[in-house]
């Protein structure tokens, strides 16, 4: 990690949410966040796990005082398993001072619900800003975290965005076709030909002013309950209830693990 970015003094208090409450059903085996990264040690001789790498990246920033990890509600893969997947050093103060507080919270039915649980827990700590990250993105670099921290102070809502290399198309099922579309292996019709220069792929961490993102999630929960609506990420929640979201260049190396081959 780039130490200069991690050591920079940044005004305002920060917290991080690391999302690891999913079941990893597409990994066909052990939960992906608890799997080891090949050839990487956590500093004590144990293999560094996917979750351990993600959490350690945020723990390296002195301005991040609290890290909340969302975990499955199932006991066998819940808090105890998440703790075991983290380097022991994360629970010990550093020689020069105090490390971040590591907290755990059971997730909800959806990722949005899980984030809402974490933000509600963080309310007692009164951070100015919250960074929300996928626990399945272990290769997050200090440079990107540092740029996100700087940008959220200016814009109050910011995400990393990668340019697309392929031309995107908006699709819809044909008349009489199944609603599952291409995800189910069916043919679809192209509805709109989108301009590649105007769209991008969202990454995490996504960062927001804390009081506003908590209130936005409260409103999102109300809409979900009333309409059955489902949000895709936290930027969408902010965009609906708070206003515009800024984007900075993402990092191609900040990949998300979804399938077993992604660990190769």
Q: Which residue has the higher pLDDT, 45 or 253?
A: 253
Among 91, 112, 129, 120, smallest CA distance to 13 is for 129
Residue 229: closest CA among 110, 117, 115, 70: 110
Task: Tell me whether residue 68 is exposed, middle or buried, using C-beta atoms within 10 angstroms of its C-beta: 0 to 12, 13 to 18, 19 or more.
Answer: buried
Give the per-residue pLDDT at 175: 79
Confidence of residue 6 (pLDDT cuts 50, 70, 90): very low
Please give the DSSP secondary-structure letter assigned to residue 251: -
Interatomic CA distance for residues 201 and 250, integer angstroms: 9
Domain ranges of the chain: 3-164+199-263, 165-196
Identify the CATH assignment for 3-164+199-263 out of 3.30.1490.20, 3.90.550.10, 3.40.50.740, 3.30.70.1400.
3.90.550.10
Mean pLDDT of the chain: 90
A 10 A CB-CB count for 167 gives 10
| Global pTM value | 0.90
Q: How many beta carbons lie within 10 A of that of residue 168, not counting itself?
A: 15
Q: How confident is the model at residue 7 (pLDDT cuts 50, 70, 90)?
A: very low
Please, which pLDDT band fits residue 4 given cuts at 50, 70 and 90?
A: very low
At 174, the pLDDT band (50, 70, 90 cuts) reads confident
DSSP state of 63: T
Helix axes 210-227, 111-122, angle to 10 degrees: 140
Q: What confidence score (pLDDT) does residue 178 get?
A: 60
Give the pLDDT of residue 64: 96
pLDDT digits (tens, 9 = 90+) for 69-94: 999 999 999 999 999 999 999 997 65
Q: In whole angstroms, what is the distance from residue 252 CA to residue 229 CA? A: 31
Distance CA 27, CA 145 (A): 27
């Amino acid at each position: 990690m780039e130490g200069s970015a991690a050591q920079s003094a940044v005004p305002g208090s920060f917290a991080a949410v690391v999302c690891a409450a999913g079941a990893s059903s597409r990994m066909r085996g052990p939960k992906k966040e608890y799997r080891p990264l090949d050839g990487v040690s956590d500093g004590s001789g144990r293999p560094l796990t996917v979750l351990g790498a993600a959490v350690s990246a945020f723990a390296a920033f002195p301005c991040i005082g609290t890290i909340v990890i969302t975990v499955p509600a199932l006991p066998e893969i819940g808090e105890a398993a998440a703790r075991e997947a983290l380097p022991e050093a994360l629970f010990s103060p550093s020689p020069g001072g105090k490390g971040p507080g590591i907290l755990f919270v059971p997730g909800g039915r959806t990722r949005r619900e899980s984030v809402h649980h974490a933000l509600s827990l963080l309310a007692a700590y009164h951070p100015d800003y919250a960074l929300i990250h996928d626990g399945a993105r272990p290769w997050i670099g200090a440079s990107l975290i540092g740029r996100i921290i700087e940008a959220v102070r200016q814009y109050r809502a910011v995400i990393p965005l990668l340019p697309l290399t392929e031309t995107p198309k908006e699709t819809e099922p044909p008349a009489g076709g199944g609603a599952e579309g291409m995800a189910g292996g069916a043919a679809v019709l192209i509805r709109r030909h989108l301009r590649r220069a105007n769209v991008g792929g969202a990454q995490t961490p996504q960062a927001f002013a804390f009081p506003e993102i908590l209130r936005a999630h409260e409103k999102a929960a109300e809409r979900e309950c009333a309409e059955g609506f489902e949000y895709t990420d936290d930027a969408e929640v902010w965009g609906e209830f708070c206003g515009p979201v800024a984007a900075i260049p993402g990092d191609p190396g900040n990949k998300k693990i979804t399938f077993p081959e992604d660990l190769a």
